[in-house]
Amino acid sequence: MGRINTLDSVVAARIAAGEVIDRPQSVARELIDNAIDAKASEITLTVEGGGIELLSVKDNGSGIEKDDLEKTIERHATSKISSVDDLYHLSTLGFRGEALYSVSAVSRLTIASSYMGEEAYTLIVDNGRVLGIKKGGPDSGTVVTVEDLFGQIPARRSFLKRPSSEATLVRNMLLSKAMAFPEITFRYYQDGALRLHLPARASRFDRVLDIITEDEKLNRKLFVELNDKGEKFSVKLVTSLAELHRSDRGRIKIYVNGRAVEEYSMVQAISYGYGERLPGGSFPYSVLFIEDDPELVDFNIHPAKKEVKLRNRAEIHHVVSSLIKQKLPRTIPSIQAKEDEQRELPPVIKTTTSYQDRNFFLNRSEVPQEENFSSSVSSPRKDYRSVEKPSDNSWLQKAKELAVKKEEREIAQSYEKSTNSKESVWDVEDNSFTYIGQAFKLFLICERKGKLYLVDQHAAHERVIFEELKEQRSVQQLLVPIDFEVERDVDEFLSNHADLYTQYGINIVRKEDCLWSLLSLPAMARPVEKQLVEYISTKTGDESELESGLYAIVACKAAIKAGDIVDRYSAEALLEKTFQLEDPSCPHGRTFIITLDEADLRKMVGRTK
């Protein structure tokens, strides 16, 4: 007698259900997907006992016909697709035909529905066994109720968390779905009480902020919406300004065609876009919505559709990172005294900013910790690195004036309706300053036009070198070329655009399929050749982005470091060049200047003129 047996259909169904249904959260996910696919404008989710005892989803969608009720619990029964080709033209969240089949195998399932307002019918299934169909149900739409989840599978139920924890997971899943569908009203009831109500909104920006600010009480003014598009795709990003961040990636969410997915490359694109605007180890609050051509997207690689393959991933990655770099508002912090300052109390200070870049203008505020700068100011002791002081900077002055005028015109065009006052980043009439000293072996301090300026010496020098390198073409040939492998999309990019690197003194040649060789590089880049190779082997993009990335690597290596002692002459030369910069940010995108106004400083110590 053979040892191979055919499993009972109920046993097989319960085994298969484990791929799709592992806890109440996944039940809610599948039922809400069906409600959205049914074009519902209102969805209500109800849980009792964390969704283990009862979980119900009610919608006002198109409903299910009587003849289709029993088919809903058959494996691979779906109205979403009918052929393999349909997988590449998906417009619905569901398509596998496994959700209700899996749920019915591990619970008591009731599906009550009225198709297009016709007479309602109810299907009852108990752990894989159909108990029948009877008349009755909602006046419109569908109500799916799941009771006693895993009641006949004690081993599976033992892995579930406490009811309160399971309820939290269900709620978070509902919020995740609601972000992508602002036109739908969502309600969430837990143990008989309404715990969440999200009314329909006109935009995803409003819906995302409703959810984010509901959970963490964040300031809505610290978020912006950025939009862009490429060939066959568009991106919409709701993201925080640089001063609002957290220590993990937990609030970076990625959606592709309405589905929340785990797509690390897009998380990486967002982080890369911020660059050093954020402190090390910090991440923004970001929700990225990608609408891509269905023919370029494949969701059929994970039972819960949590993963996705994008054929145009590299192009989308580039657009997302460039969008943040170019359009996220950039600011110069200015420390100011609080209006209701009390002399007898330690001053409370806030930072506000009024820096304008070419695309955005924004004022913002926050409350940092007070610091005593004077106690750590050091006098010059040692000449670490000298910077040649220009003998005649009149041409720089004229160039800067032209740049400022151009910037002012662009700002005026972009913000005609803005009620904020518009001030230039630099006062072009007078560039003089008085150097005071160095603080914490990091900040260069000077007095300029009634303000104290604190300048990050490393970032400022990095930016100055960055600008000088743009005019430099000193190339060094490598005695031993460096071979490196690349991914298919990078190989294709380099094959078509290797000349972009050649103009920067980087000579690369293709040896064979996906294998390249570095033959030469800029002389100043010799110490960072490994970083350059890593950059080239992973990067695709336009000329401006490639240039910024390349020189950011080189400039960072050559610049004065934090902790270096800078002599007065070098410090003054560096500050002079810094105040001639059009954009006071390092090549990575981090703003490196803070100002303190004399009037606010007097107010902090209780002294008035």
What CATH number is given to the structural domain containing 338? 3.30.1540.20
Q: Are residues 79 and 214 in the same domain?
A: no
In a domain, 384, yes or no: yes
Domain carrying residue 104:
9-198
In a domain, 83, yes or no: yes
Residue 299 pLDDT exceeds 90:
no
Question: Which CATH number covers residue 157?
Answer: 3.30.565.10
Cα atoms in the 13 Å half-sphere on the side-chain side of 171: 20
Residue 117: Cβ within 10 Å count: 11
Q: Are residues 601 and 520 in the same domain?
A: yes
In a domain, 377, yes or no: yes
| Distance from C-alpha of 474 to C-alpha of 193, rounded to nearest angstrom | 71
Q: Are residues 473 and 552 in the same domain?
A: yes
Q: Are residues 489 and 538 in the same domain?
A: yes
If phi over 0 gives left and psi between -120 and 50 gives alpha, with beta otherwise, what is residue 391?
Answer: alpha
Percent pLDDT > 90 in the chain is 30
For residue 562, CA distances in Å to 342, 413, 478, 578, 585 come to 36, 39, 31, 17, 16
Residue 295 pLDDT exceeds 90:
no
Would you say the C-alpha torsion 102, 104, 106, 109 has a positive or negative sign? positive
Residue 403 pLDDT exceeds 90:
no
Token pair recorded at residue 345: 């109390």
> What pLDDT, on the 0 to 100 scale, is given for residue 6?
57
Give the confidence band of 173 by pLDDT, cuts at 50, 70, 90.
very high
Closest by CA to 242, choosing from 316, 325, 336, 179, is 325
Burial (Cβ within 10 Å: 0-12, 13-18, ≥19) of residue 428: middle
Residue 41 pLDDT exceeds 60:
yes
524 vs 37, residue with greater confidence: 37
> What pLDDT, on the 0 to 100 scale, is given for residue 89?
53
Instruction: Read off the pLDDT of residues 358-400 as tens digits, 9 standing for 90 and up.
Output: 333 233 333 334 334 333 333 333 343 334 444 444 544 554 5
Question: What's phi and psi for 133, nearest 5 deg?
Answer: -120, 135
Q: Are residues 536 and 484 in the same domain?
A: yes
In a domain, 3, yes or no: no
> What pLDDT, on the 0 to 100 scale, is given for residue 609?
58
Cα 426 from chain centroid? 31
Q: Are residues 94 and 220 in the same domain?
A: no
| Distance from C-alpha of 563 to C-alpha of 19, rounded to nearest angstrom | 55
Q: Are residues 223 and 194 in the same domain?
A: no
Angle, CA 187 vertex, CA 205 and CA 308 arms, to 5°:
55
In a domain, 2, yes or no: no
Would you say the C-alpha torsion 516, 522, 527, 528 has a positive or negative sign? negative
Which of 300, 327, 354 is the last residue in one of the domains? 327
Q: Are residues 514 and 411 in the same domain?
A: yes
CB burial readout 47-84, b (16+ within 10 A) else e: bbbbbbbbbbbbbbbbbbebeebeebbebeebbbbeee
Residue 19 pLDDT exceeds 70:
no
Residue 71 pLDDT exceeds 90:
no
| Distance from C-alpha of 313 to C-alpha of 291, rounded to nearest angstrom | 12
> What pLDDT, on the 0 to 100 scale, is given for residue 345?
37
Which of 198, 222, 242 is the last residue in one of the domains? 198
Which of 166, 198, 230 is the last residue in one of the domains? 198
Question: Which CATH number covers residue 217?
Answer: 3.30.230.10
**H-run or E-run covering 595:** strand 593-597
pTM above 0.85, yes or no: no
In a domain, 592, yes or no: yes
Number of domains making up the chain: 3
Instruction: Read off the pLDDT of residues 550-584 as tens digits, 9 standing for 90 and up.
Output: 777 777 777 788 888 889 999 999 998 888 887 77
| Mean pLDDT along residues 249-278 | 88
Q: Are residues 249 and 348 in the same domain?
A: no
Q: Are residues 320 and 344 in the same domain?
A: no
Average pLDDT value for the chain = 77
DSSP state of 415: T
Question: What's phi and psi for 320, nearest 5 deg?
Answer: -65, -50
Closest by CA to 310, choosing from 296, 329, 320, 300, is 296
Q: Are residues 65 and 211 in the same domain?
A: no
Residue 101 pLDDT exceeds 60:
yes
Q: Are residues 380 and 501 in the same domain?
A: yes
Residue 344 pLDDT exceeds 50:
no
260 vs 386, residue with greater confidence: 260
